[in-house]
Amino acid sequence: MSAAVSGGADFFRRLMSTPPKPLPTPRLFALAWPLFLELCLGIAIGVIGTMLAARISDPAGAAFALANQLAATLFILFRIIGAGISVVITQALGGGRRAVADATARAALGASTWLGGFTALMALLFAGPLLRLMNAPAEVLPLSQPFLMALAPAMMLDAWNASMASVMRAHLRSRDTLMVLVAMQVAQLLLSVTLMPVLGLPGFAVALAVSRAFGLGLHVWLWRARLDLRPKASDWWRLQRAELAGVLHIGLPGAAENIAYRLAYMVSVAIAGHLGASALAAHSYTSQLMYFVLLPGLATGFAAEIVVGHLIGAGQLHEAHRLVRRALARGLLISVVVAAGAAAASPWLLQMFTHDEKILASAVVLMWITVVLEPGRTFNLVVINALRAAGDAKYPVMVGAGSMLLVLAGGSWLLGEVLGLGLVGLWIAYAADEWIRGLLMWRRWARLGWVPQARAVHRRLRAARAH
């Protein structure tokens, strides 16, 4: 680790070119609304895919959700670099170090290739064992295994798209990334509607891969047209350790936090699978609606990360502190309103997926528990991203891992299985975990525990600029 940090310091000192003028301080709302639409479109495609799968059968709907959950879990490996790309680039741009930002962007491509390839290989080789580990019901496993394997090529392409989109957003080009996502999702939707009635679940995977290849081509063009970034062939496979040192400093703790959460969450999904196909279907359909509920907080958190990164790079710590307080207040208000509205409408919204009365009744109860859950989640979505952007990446994983293990995973097992509360027990565990972690993160931010790390980031960039 010390060698990596030393290599990163050498890298910054080698950048002797005159820095361009720093970008103007971005506004939170100008970044948040395109991010919200991006996320909304992404979730909408997932919901439509679930609806198309559920029309085949409820086991097919459960298989679709379970395979996608596992694909998302495997894709967490990309967070090793994904969590750090945006932070390092926004800090560099805020400090007027465009050369650092460009070198980091190119290095991210090679790292994405290796991590994306490894993720795809895991899906191909271990689909069956992973799904059995998740207690996939007997009627679900034969449908979910080939579907997960068919998702592998899209997972590789998504790694490239995610890193290239992160670079665009860091340069405040969120509207361009929105346009790419719209093009990808429209292509995927048209292909899914055409292919799924013929091929079943693998038809969705084919549509996903084709649309992601289309998106990759658009991102390559936008890098050249908007950012004047022209990656060389070697950039797509080389692991540039010095350039990735700063990314890993942020990304490794960020990935560890996401991996810990995903693993704990998958324990709860395995418990839902143990409760039977109907419970798993109710879990997946409710989760699809919950994704829409959390979108405003998630978009606010991503936008806050970008703005805080720019402010930290420019040394404007007081403004960063005020911005996070405002973002959190707005996020909490919006999360309660959206969650309550979704819960009230859930008896009708859930009929998009199924008309099974038992599944509907269970899912409606879960949506009302979500009204309590979502404000706690907003703390995490906004404050953790802000802490990471300020350079305080280790605290969220060190503090959060215990809650994820004991409250999320352990609570799901205790309440859902041992005490027999079923899915209600799982949702109570979800809410308790979000609130415990969220309040601890806010305590860290409010007490300025992130300030020493933020000052160190600014000093490093100022020293590089002086050289």
Report the distance separating Cα 259 and Cα 101, nearest Å. 26
pLDDT for res 18: 36
Q: Per residue in 232-258, pLDDT tens?
A: 999 998 888 877 888 887 878 877 888
- Cut 0.85: pTM above it: no
Q: Per residue in 101-134, pLDDT tens?
A: 899 999 999 999 998 999 999 999 999 998 888 7
Q: Is the pLDDT of residue 62 over 50?
A: yes
**Would you say 382 and 324 are in contact if contact means Cβ atoms under 8 Å apart?**
yes
Grouping H, G, I as helix, E, B as strand and the rest as coil, residue 23 is coil
pLDDT for res 9: 42
Q: Taking Cα atoms as reference points, which of 183, 253, 166 lies closest to residue 218? A: 183
Lowest-confidence pick of 36-50, 117-131, 229-243, 351-365 = 36-50
* Average pLDDT taken over every residue of the chain: 86
- Count Cβ atoms below 10 Å from residue 318 Cβ, excluding itself: 9
- CA angle centred on 289, ends 66 and 63, rounded to 5°: 15
Task: Report percent pLDDT > 90 for the chain.
Answer: 44
Phi, psi dihedrals of residue 461, rounded to the nearest 5°: -65, -40
Q: Is the pLDDT of residue 464 over 80?
A: no
* Helix 451-466, helix 79-94: angle, nearest 10: 60
pLDDT for res 17: 38
Mean pLDDT for the stretch of residues 286-303 = 87
Q: Is the pLDDT of residue 442 over 70?
A: yes
**Would you say 37 and 180 are in contact if contact means Cβ atoms under 8 Å apart?**
no
